[in-house]
Amino acid sequence: MTITRRSLLLRAPIAAGIIAAGLPAIARSQAASVKIRYLAGRGGISPHELADALGYFEGLGIELENVGYAGGGPESLFALASGSVDLGSAATPAVINSIAGGNDFVAAYPSNGINKDVKSVFYVLEDSPIKSIADIAGKTISVNTLGAHLDYTVREALHSVGLPPDAAKLVVVPGPQLEQTLRSRQVDVAGLGYWQATFAGALVSNGGVRGVFNDTDVLGEIAGGFVVLRRDFIAANPDAARNFVEQSARAADWSRQNPDEARKVVADVLNKRGENGDLARYWTGFGLREKAVATDHDVDFWVSILERDGRLPKRKLKAADILYRPGETKIN
């Protein structure tokens, strides 16, 4: 479904940021009570969910409403395009593809990043003959969804060793079943995303597995994905959009400075969802830069790959067309 800036009628502004008393009059006027619907990801949380749990939205008239779970980023973006939710979250290639396809979205802030501490790892059983990226050719790899971060990481890993991007077979397996399918040898490799560190931690703790490669090895330190808003929402509510992003970034910074306390909050959120809060001890954080800053490289890296593979016309998009930068980017 194609979304244009003229075709959307947003139901209400998103308000977040510094405390309402400190907002300018125009921003305070946007702090009317509103529910923001979103889809959660099993086994983890997003910075805006943490901000909500920490009370950062109190007094700003915002209420986050979890309306279910997304199997992956593409599903989240589809829900945003259809109007089922008010914000989406997806891997950068999926966001770029969605915008290139006509959806009038903006990458509001990085939801996660990958670095030496926060990364996606591709695991095999200890006795597996798979020792390197080259060995995954012809093998079956489990991922949470197709067309998103793990999918594109595998493609780029294969390309890095001179193999075609479809040399491995990808199968979709929900996060809670990843360990079971690997140990029962239904798949040769289990891909656990950076957002699934809780599941990865449990897998490693149970023993008998080893990592073959990770996404930081392949991609370097880079944003893993973005929280996405509609462009006309930002145009209509510039202060609300800015405050939402600032408060989410504030929560991400707090989690990096207070990792033990953050894990307790993650555990509480998981328990309230009916998930296993004990897994929160394996949570490794968001992997974001200070203030959740996004760079042009976070987007242009993937634009160049999509252009190289013929999935995106050359020079159709660049970082400035996609990234939301309050005070810098003009939202038309």
Strand ordering across the sheet containing 222-230: 88-91, 222-230, 105-114
Burial classification of residue 194, based on how many CB atoms lie within 10 Å of its CB (0-12 exposed, 13-18 middle, 19 or more buried): buried
Check residue 32 and give its pLDDT: 60
CB 288 within 8 A of CB 47: yes
Query: How far is 141 from 149, CA to CA, in rounded Å?
Result: 13
Q: Which residue is it, tokens 């042009």?
A: 296
Query: How far is 292 from 224, CA to CA, in rounded Å?
Result: 12
Q: Each residue of 71-93: b (16+ CB within 10 Å) or e?
A: bbbbbbbbbbbeeebbbbbbbbb
- Rounded alpha-carbon distances, angstroms, from residue 136 to 132, 146, 303: 7, 17, 25
The SS3 call for residue 308 is helix
How many Cβ atoms sit within 10 Å of the Cβ of residue 180? 12
Query: How far is 248 from 250, CA to CA, in rounded Å?
Result: 5
Check residue 40 and give its pLDDT: 93
Check residue 57 and give its pLDDT: 84
Strand blocks (E) in the chain:
34-40, 62-69, 88-91, 105-114, 121-125, 140-143, 169-172, 189-192, 209-214, 222-230
Check residue 3 and give its pLDDT: 33
Check residue 21 and give its pLDDT: 36
Check residue 244 and give its pLDDT: 84
Check residue 97 and give its pLDDT: 93
Q: What is the mean pLDDT of each run of 10 residues along the chain (332 residues)?
A: 33 31 42 76 93 89 85 91 92 94 94 93 98 97 92 95 96 94 98 93 96 95 94 78 88 97 96 94 94 95 93 92 74 52
Check residue 6 and give its pLDDT: 31
**Which amino acid does the sequence have at 279?**
L
